[in-house]
Structures are given as structure tokens and as C-alpha cells.
Structure 1
Amino acid sequence: MTDIDTREENDTAQLVDAWLATYADASADAAWLLCDRHPAERIAFTFVGPDLTGTDLTFGELSERSRRLASLLRARGVGAGDRVAVLMGKRPGLIVTLLALWRLGAVHVPLFTAFAHGAIAVRVEGSGARLLVTEASQRTKVEGIAGLDVLEIEGIEASLAGVEPLVDRVAVGGDGQLIEIFTSGTTGNPKGVPVPLRMLAAAESYLRFSLDLRAEDVYWNAADPGWAYGLYYALLGPLAAGRRALLSTAPFSAAHTLEVMRAFGVTNFAGAPTMYRALRAVGVPGRLRLRRASSAGEPLDPDLTEFGREVLGVGIRDHYGQTELGMVLCDHWHPSIARDPVPGSMGRPLPGFALGIVDGQIAVDTGNSPLAWFSGYVGDPRLSRDRFTPDGRWYLTSDLGRRDDDGNFFFRSRSDDVILAAGYRIGPTDVENVLLRHPAVREAAVVGRPDPDGVRGEQVEAFVVVADGVTADDELADALARHVRDTYSKHAYPRRVHFVGELPKTPSGKLRRYVLRQASVD
């Protein structure tokens, strides 16, 4: 196979063709492409602990350990097409588990460790997963989910030495499914997005052209792999490209982030605007070694770009994508296609994608986007049809935007009600459904409003009509916030709860969330 690093840097069309030939082939094998083809001694990941201790995982170790785990899982009945949920933090066992599943042709269902029982149950039941692999610290969250077999990674790892490594593997082909990841959604339950193996071609394009990831880089994508950006580009992309990546096992803090950057000499960093805002808030004494800094997950504040140049030593460039697309619009870093940033712009299409504006929405021209891979939601043909124009040519993002005469794209607003908080996309209906299960709540509406501290971008706020006889006070507001945090998810609970006499609705009874987003509240 051709080493793409030897090709002409500006020959983007040939590179796209090469990636497609590799990842879209009918005989494509995920375990080979993500692990076994790389030199055994090459480091795949360096796991950074809270004390800044680094632990390396080589491709050879990943291959051997994942083969043993694959044997164990196959003995438990896991086979091609089976959905297996994984609830783990950023630890070696997570990567080993994913490779083991893909050796068997099984489908990974990612779960975020900040999820509580409710959010986990929705995804497990929605995917039809009958097996979940987790760690001891997360075990209590999955108790009570009917028909679910649960394995703890600590016990599995202790027994792997006595298991014979799996020799054979399943080649699922480019259209074969690797992942079933769930959107945040704005109506009903989150929707399953099938991610095929050929998505790796788009991941390679993003790492090369938008991030300008090079062999000598110390690369750290700080996003959580329980969500699309972290899964696609902190895990899958580096594995496909054979590039070492850092994974921090500590919870995010600005201070720890700076310590990691300095201790490991990070040169290529990617994260949400929230992370950059937190760095700005604590201050960054001295210069870092950053060569590239990229932002994704929510619109980038123009003043953060200036902060990057003046304090981090490098401008921060904005990148845009979705769970259904991966990254598609970027202020690219690679010298062959980089341009001077246009203030407020997300940049231009990623090589392999063509985009336009359709009915005011940012849209992907699927007929002229060889790297586009989304085909529809699992088990929801109606919603799948709604995301495309009637002729099937354009995928509609539901994000409103514009394009200038030079081809730069600008984000205007969302045409749906998804909340962008700290880089996470949160569906308001999901949170409303949790609130409505509390006996004190008669009606509830959830919206995103500006974070008063200027760190999270937006924050989740709830407007609640209480049940008859219930006293609306601060104690109840705190109880409702805890109810969402403890039963659904730590990342999606309302930071403020407002009690109102009634919710604004249209004559037909539809909730007018935009009125609540603009409401003046104490």
C-alpha cells in the first residue's frame, strides 16, 4: 500500500482517492487498518495520569491484548453485527475493547461516562445491545437494565494472560458498520447513527488537512471519546493514520491541561471553545510549544483567536461538523490549502466534501462528496428522509449559515433547538422528559441560554410549571437539577430552573422555545 506521506502535499484529489481505495474496499478489515498494519513497536497512545505519569500503549501490545480479548468475547457469543455497549474512561482497556469488538465484526455503542442510568438505558435499549463492557467505577449506573450482560474490564484484564489470542478476524468491508453512536436529538429519544468503516477515509482527510497532523507532532485531542468528535478524532483518526495521540485520564481542568501541554510538549491540540475559555480564565504564564490549535463543538468566539495568538503562541482555528458527518467545514491548517483566517468564518469544505447553502441551511452535496458516509438513522426512515432534500442530493444540517463570495462559510444559528454547552450537543426534549417524570412538575421546557460566566458558551436552563399544590422555591429548583443530573446525565442538567405560570405556545399547542431563549428572567 502507498505511503501517503510521500505524495505531493497539494495533490488532494489523489489523496482522497487513495484513502477511498483503502477504506471503502469491499474487503476492508478494521483490525488490520486500525492496528495490525502499523509497526508493532510504534506507540499508539500515551495515557497521562493526574500525576503527569505517562503510560505508552504500542500497536504491538494493542494487537496482542485485543486478540486475547476477542477470543474471550467470542467465547461469550459475541459475533459479527452484534451491538456491544462500552462505558469506560480514557484508559488502555477502552482501546483494547474496541479493537477486540472490531476483530469480531461487532458494533461498538459508545457511552459517555458522565451519563447517569437514564441516558445509558436509552442508548442500550435503542441499539439492542445485550452486552456492556464497563469499569468498576461505572457499574452501578447500568444495574437494572433488563436483559443486559455486564462485564467489568478489571476482571477481564486479569484473566487475559490465560486466553489464546484470536488468529482470524472478520473483514466487514467499507460499508460494514463499526459504530452505532447516538445523537443528542431534539425530538423524542436520541437517534442511532450507523458509522461505516469507510468513514476512516474522511477521518484521515481531517487529520491531514484541517489539523495538519505530522509524524513529529505531539497530538492531543482533549474531547471525550463518548462523543463523536473525541471518538472520531482522538481515537479512530490517530489509529488509522498510525500517529501517536495523548489521552488524559484525569477530569478536565485548565490547570491540568496546561501541565500536560508543558510536560509532554504538546504541539498539536484540539478541543472545545470551553476549554480555551477556561485556559484564558486561569492565565497561561510563559509560552507553550503549540504549533497548531483547533476548536470544535460550538462556534468559536472571535476573541479566543486573538487570545491564542497572543497567549498560546498560535491562533485557534474553527472547525465544524456533526455526529452524522464528522468534520466537514474547517479553517484548515495544512499549508497546501490554508488561507488567512476570515473573522467569524468556519472556513471551507474539507477535501472530499462539497457544501452549499440550501434553504438557508448549511448542506452537504452528497453527489459531489466522495467522503460523505451518512445514509440515515437506525430504524427511523421518516427522520432520515427529512435530513435530505427530496431528490436525495443534499444532506441538510439544520444549522443556518451563509457563504461569502470567496467560498468561506459562516454559522448563523441553529434551525432546531439543540443546545451547545461546553462543546456538547444536548437535546432539550431528552431533559424535558426527565423533568416531567418528577412528581412536582406539570410542564417543562428546556432551552440553551448564554452562560453568564462566559465559559460554557450556552448553559441548560429549564422553565417549569409546577403541579397543583407544589411550592415553587429554591429548594425545589435544586431538587429538579439534581434529579436530571443523578438520573440522566451530569453534562445535561439545568444550571438554572425558572418557575413560570405557563409556557409560551402556538395556537396549535407547540412550544415556542425561542420566546424562552429571549425571556428576561431574574
Structure 2
Amino acid sequence: MPLSPSDAVEAWLAAYGAAEADVAHLLCDRHDADAVAFTFVGPDLAARDLTYGELACRSRRLATVLAARGVRRGDRVPVLMGKRPELVTTLLAIWRIGAVHVPLFTAFATGAIRMRVEASRAKLVVTEPAQRAKLDPIQGIDVLETGEAFDRLIDEAEPLATSIAVGGAGTMLQLFTSGTTGKPKGVPVPVRALASFHCYLHYGLDVTADDVFWNAADPGWAYGLYYGILAPLAAGRRNLLLDAGFTPEATVAVVGKFGVTNFAAAPTVYRALGKSGLVRDLRLRRASSAGEPLTPEIAGWARDALGVEVRDHYGQTELGMVVNNHWHPDVARPVRPGSMGQPMPGYAAGTVDGQLAVDVEHSPLLWFTGYHEEPGKTAERFTADGRWYLTADTGRVDDEGYYFFTARNDDVILAAGYRIGPFDVESVLITHPAVADVAVVGRPDPEGVRGEVVEAFVVLTGEAEPNDGLAADLQRLVREEYSKHAYPRTVHFVDALPKTPSGKVQRYLLRQR
């Protein structure tokens, strides 16, 4: 008899939260060696399966290689790599020796990479040839690059005999999340968070053994990593990984060729598919959206184009997914327009002073306890009595328990599912000699695809003249020094920025212009 949601949560917590929890065993070694863990799809749609047996063998040998390079338990190891077999192999190898994976988005430029490498005090970075040049300016790190030499090192290494069990409280990941001020904050993810990730895959997405599952999000970010790599491995469910940038044409081709039945992506993907006119005769069993609020037009389009509604889900890097329009029949409820659903099994939620909040005491799956070495920032996330985790997103809950997202309580920009901190972009723009002051905000995408786009308001130095060439220079600076996904689509030259008496930029006034 299937377990009830409460019993399932208890079982997952017992497995992933145990003092002897071994990540390599939980994600790989306990599964059927002949079962397919991932299907890797190339830009030409050529496919390659990776079985759990192959993953176990290769990761054990790579773990020996990493140990020989000086990686030890607790060390942070950033990985800058696309969705290829070496990525998953590297992650399992890192966890076998008790080290901590630090994801690096492949669209990041050197500046964003350097910040994460230095903040994590990493000694070694693993990358691929296409990304290698971004690491050259960073001093004091060892670089391990995929290719023939990488494969030869693995082939010649002895497999690691025993993996290190760091336990449910041990850290397995450290992501960085952007805010409105200061550098991105480190989010340590413990092994016991796998219980929450497994729960979402089961109840939120309803991924079954018969599904062809495709989470199209990038594993350089939380949703793609948590639910495109970790949750499928934990549950023993195959996921497709497409090693190519998003296009509507490629997405339609992959869904059609591989017979995808369960699809998860950001709203920007669904919007682009709808505008492309390419979606014909595709029929999904489940379709889910996360990363930013789902706009109403997608729901109407999806029923006709995909044969199923798209269900909106809500979460954060610090939480994973917590409030969802769940798909699993045991917890599914009718979708209410504009609502992101109800709390997932293992979580209790509410609102505190208009903020969406998680009830700490009654949320056994809650795993976030604080930012890495940031006690002040951590304190901002919890009420003084420690009862509530505060999301910094405003919202409401109706009388029937449906939650509605109202707005962010900060100025983080949500563009195509990615969280962009204004401070990160401003820190790059201010380095230009013509820039005296700058503020960055998010505006609704005029094309209705990306959710929001980045816009910059720039005050120039006395001798500088505003012109299109200077605007292009500033856009290029962000692309090259921070990230291609975060450059300002529009640069406004202004005489002054609106500020409070204490000097804080009033970004809400800029968004109203």
C-alpha cells in the first residue's frame, strides 16, 4: 500500500537525515547498476545514456583523482560545466570524498566566477574547454579540465574503495543567491535537504517510473540542480539533459523525439513556445513552471497546445520548492487562477506582516538554517522568536488555503527564471570611468517573454557625454565582467538618482518612470 504523505515525509527524513547518510550511496550506489540515470542530448539531438553502474565506476575513479589533487572533506569545489556526462560524474566524485559542490552558471563571466571561487575559498575548479578561458585571470587556483587528459586520469586511477558519509547535517552544496545589497550570500545545503527535493519530485511534479521526464532548467541554478540532478538521482528517475541553449525549435524537437511526458521549465520557456507557433500535436501528461509567477495567457495556451495545464510552483534557493499546485493525485487540488497552490507535504506556511513565511516548528522538511558566515543576513530571514522563516516576498492566502504571490519585498530582478541582484550589476557598471553613480532595476519585458529585463539608470561624470556608443560599452562591460544574462537591455542617462535622506536609492521610483 502506498505511503500517506506524512509517512512518506517521515521515511525520506529518516533516510536522508540519518547520521550515517552517504550521498554517493543515496544518489547512485543503491540503484540498479543497469538503470539509466540520465540521457544526455546534444545540439544535434544525438543521445547518450549514462547508467548508474557507469556513473558509479567513473565517479569512484575521479574521486581518487580529486583526492590526489588535494581535495579533502569539507573543501568547496566549484564546477563550471554544461549539461554533459562529466558534470554528473564530477559531482558524484566530489561527494564521495565528502567535499562540497559549488555550482557555476556557464553564462557567467570571469567577475561572477571569481567572486564565487574566492568566497568559497576553493583551491580547485573543474571545467570544460569551452569555459576554460574564464578561469585564466583568477590567481591561486588549480584547474582540472575535461578532455582526453581528463579521461585518461580517470581510466588510470584506482576506484575509491569507500565513500565518506558526512551525515544528514553535513553540507553537500553551497550555492550563492543574489540580494539587493552586498555580494551574493552563500547558501549551504545539507544532505537532509534531499528529503525535501525528493518530496517535490514525487508530490509536486508527480514524476513516475513510466514518465519521460525533462527538467529544462540549468543546473548552474537552484531549480535545475535540485530537481534536474539531485531529485532524479535520489528517486531513481531518469532526466533528460540537453547540452544546448534554449530555443523553441530545440525544445519542440526534444519533446517530440524523446516522447517527453513530464516537463518542467521557467515561464519564459512556455511564453517563447507559445509565441513561436511551432507547438503542434505535442501532448504532455504533466507540465510545471517555476522561477517567477506564471502569467494567465500561458494557462489558456497550454491546454490547447500541450493537452495539459501548466501548474505554477513557488520556492527559493534557500528553501527549494515549498508551495505548489501539486500534480500527485494524493495531494492535487483544482488550480485557482493566479494562485501558486498550497504548502507541500512536510511544510506549513502563513503570512507575517504581509510576507509569505514558512512555519519553522511545523515544517520538518525545512533545511535552511542560515547563510555561510553571514549571521546578520541570516537573522533577517527569521522572526525574532525563530518561529517563522521570512521569504521577503509579499503575498496572501485565501480562506480555502490557496496562496497568492503579490510582489517581491526586495528589488531582486527575476529575468527568465534567474535571480539577478541589482548590486551585482551596479558593482560592474560603476567601474567604468564615465559612470559617477548608477542604479539597476527590473522592468516588465516589453516582449512578454523574459518576465523582467534589467534596466540601468546612470549618472555620468562631468566630462562624459551620453550617447548610444557609451550605452553599448556599458552593456558590453556587464556581459564580459559579470554575466551575459544580466546585462541591462536599456541604459538611461539621468542627472541624479532618487534617494532617501540616508542615501538609499529609491528603486521603486525608477521603476515608475
Give the TM-score taking structure 1 as reference length.
0.97
Distance (whole Å) between structure 1 residues aligned to residue 146 and residue 231 of structure 2: 24
CA deviation map 1:259-281 (0-9, x unaligned)? 00000000000000000010001
Give the letter for the 2:484 counterpart: K
Q: Judge conservation of contact 1:284–1:311 (CA < 8 Å) in 2.
A: no
Could you tell me which residue of structure 1 aligns to residue 94 of structure 2?
101
CA deviation map 1:95-152 (0-9, x unaligned)? 0000000000000011000000000011111111111000111111111222111110
2:9 pairs, out of 16, 24, 32, with 16
1:194 pairs, out of 172, 183, 188, with 188
Identity of aligned residues (%): 63
Structure 2 counterparts to residues 77-476 of structure 1, below 5 A? 77-154=70-147, 155-476=149-470
Give the letter for the 2:437 counterpart: E
Give the letter for the 1:118 counterpart: G
Query: Match of 2:314, SS?
Result: strand
Could you tell me which residue of structure 1 aligns to residue 53 of structure 2?
60
Task: Show structure 1 runs of 5+ residues with no match.
Answer: 1-5
Distance (whole Å) between structure 1 residues aligned to residue 207 and residue 406 of structure 2: 29
Distance (whole Å) between structure 1 residues aligned to residue 14 and residue 184 of structure 2: 33
Are 1:75 and 2:34 counterparts? no
Distance (whole Å) between structure 1 residues aligned to residue 156 and residue 140 of structure 2: 28
Q: Judge conservation of contact 1:329–1:346 (CA < 8 Å) in 2.
A: yes
What is the deviation of 1:289?
3.0
What is the deviation of 1:162?
1.2
Give the letter for the 1:356 counterpart: G
Distance (whole Å) between structure 2 residues aligned to residue 287 and residue 428 of structure 1: 41
Q: Judge conservation of contact 1:328–1:349 (CA < 8 Å) in 2.
A: yes
Give the letter for the 2:276 counterpart: V
Could you tell me which residue of structure 2 aligns to residue 7 of structure 1?
2
What is the deviation of 1:220?
0.3
Distance (whole Å) between structure 2 residues aligned to residue 515 and residue 157 of structure 1: 54
Distance (whole Å) between structure 1 residues aligned to residue 201 and residue 507 of structure 2: 37
Query: Match of 2:253, SS?
Result: helix
What is the deviation of 1:158?
3.0
Distance (whole Å) between structure 2 residues aligned to residue 96 and residue 81 of structure 1: 18
What is the deviation of 1:287?
1.7
Q: Judge conservation of contact 1:284–1:312 (CA < 8 Å) in 2.
A: no
Give the letter for the 1:273 counterpart: P
CA deviation map 1:406-460 (0-9, x unaligned)? 0000000011000000000000011001000111100000000011111001000
Give the letter for the 1:39 counterpart: D
Could you tell me which residue of structure 2 aligns to residue 42 of structure 1?
35
What is the deviation of 1:300?
0.2
What is the deviation of 1:159?
2.5
Distance (whole Å) between structure 1 residues aligned to residue 280 and residue 469 of structure 2: 45
Q: Judge conservation of contact 2:248–2:278 (CA < 8 Å) in 1.
A: no
Give the letter for the 2:2 counterpart: R
CA deviation map 1:295-324 (0-9, x unaligned)? 000000011011110111110000000000
Distance (whole Å) between structure 2 residues aligned to residue 92 and residue 186 of structure 1: 35
Query: Match of 1:367, SS?
Result: coil
Give the letter for the 1:398 counterpart: A
Task: Show structure 2 runs of 5+ residues with no match.
Answer: none
Distance (whole Å) between structure 1 residues aligned to residue 137 and residue 432 of structure 2: 20
Give the letter for the 2:410 counterpart: D
Distance (whole Å) between structure 2 residues aligned to residue 335 and residue 471 of structure 1: 61
Query: Match of 1:332, SS?
Result: coil
Give the letter for the 1:275 counterpart: V
Query: Match of 1:122, SS?
Result: helix
Give the letter for the 1:126 counterpart: A
Q: Judge conservation of contact 2:283–2:308 (CA < 8 Å) in 1.
A: no
Q: Judge conservation of contact 2:217–2:265 (CA < 8 Å) in 1.
A: yes
Query: Match of 2:485, SS?
Result: coil
Coordinate RMSD, CA, aligned: 0.8
Query: Match of 1:46, SS?
Result: strand
Give the TM-score taking structure 2 as reference length.
0.99
CA deviation map 1:7-29 (0-9, x unaligned)? 24xx1000000000100000000
CA deviation map 1:470-521 (0-9, x unaligned)? 11011100110000001110111101100000001112211000000110xx
CA deviation map 1:361-383 (0-9, x unaligned)? 00000100000000100011011
Distance (whole Å) between structure 2 residues aligned to residue 450 and residue 462 of structure 1: 14
Structure 2 counterparts to residues 472-511 of structure 1, below 5 A? 472-511=466-505
Distance (whole Å) between structure 1 residues aligned to residue 121 and residue 491 of structure 2: 34
Could you tell me which residue of structure 2 aligns to residue 3 of structure 1?
none
CA deviation map 1:59-95 (0-9, x unaligned)? 0000000000001111111111011110000000000
Give the letter for the 1:300 counterpart: L
What is the deviation of 1:285?
4.2
CA deviation map 1:6-53 (0-9, x unaligned)? 524xx1000000000100000000000000000000000000111111
Give the letter for the 2:231 counterpart: G
Q: Judge conservation of contact 1:419–1:428 (CA < 8 Å) in 2.
A: yes
Distance (whole Å) between structure 2 residues aligned to residue 437 and residue 304 of structure 1: 40
Query: Match of 2:232, SS?
Result: helix
Q: Judge conservation of contact 1:47–1:54 (CA < 8 Å) in 2.
A: yes
Give the letter for the 1:29 counterpart: D
Distance (whole Å) between structure 1 residues aligned to residue 313 and residue 435 of structure 2: 39
Distance (whole Å) between structure 2 residues aligned to residue 179 and residue 298 of structure 1: 23
Query: Match of 1:462, SS?
Result: strand
What is the deviation of 1:286?
2.5
